[in-house]
Amino acid sequence: MTNKKEENNMCESNVYLRKDNDEKLIMENVAAITPLDKDTFVLKGLLGERMEVKAVIADINLMGHKIILNAL
């Protein structure tokens, strides 16, 4: 039997905030997004950093590690 090495793919994503059709990277290596209320989210980074953002989810691309939020 041959031992196969499993690849450890990172599961973090970059989060972009879209405003007036312009996307701006607001946080890299986001490990979790938690809703605070209907239009506020807490982004939690891999190293413990946190950011609150008022937005709605526009797109989540898990394969591309990209999340786009529309600013309010």
Over residues 39-53, the pLDDT tens digits come to: 999 999 999 999 999
Domain range summary for the chain, segments of one domain joined by +: 13-71
Q: Looking up tokens 């996307």, which residue turns up?
A: 23
pTM beyond cutoff 0.85: no
In terms of Cα–Cα distance, which of 49, 18, 17, 19 is closest to 32? 49
Give strand pairing partners of 14: 66
Residue 5 above 80 pLDDT? no
Distances 15 to 5, 7, 22, 45 between C-alpha atoms, Å: 30, 24, 13, 10
CATH class of 13-71: mainly beta
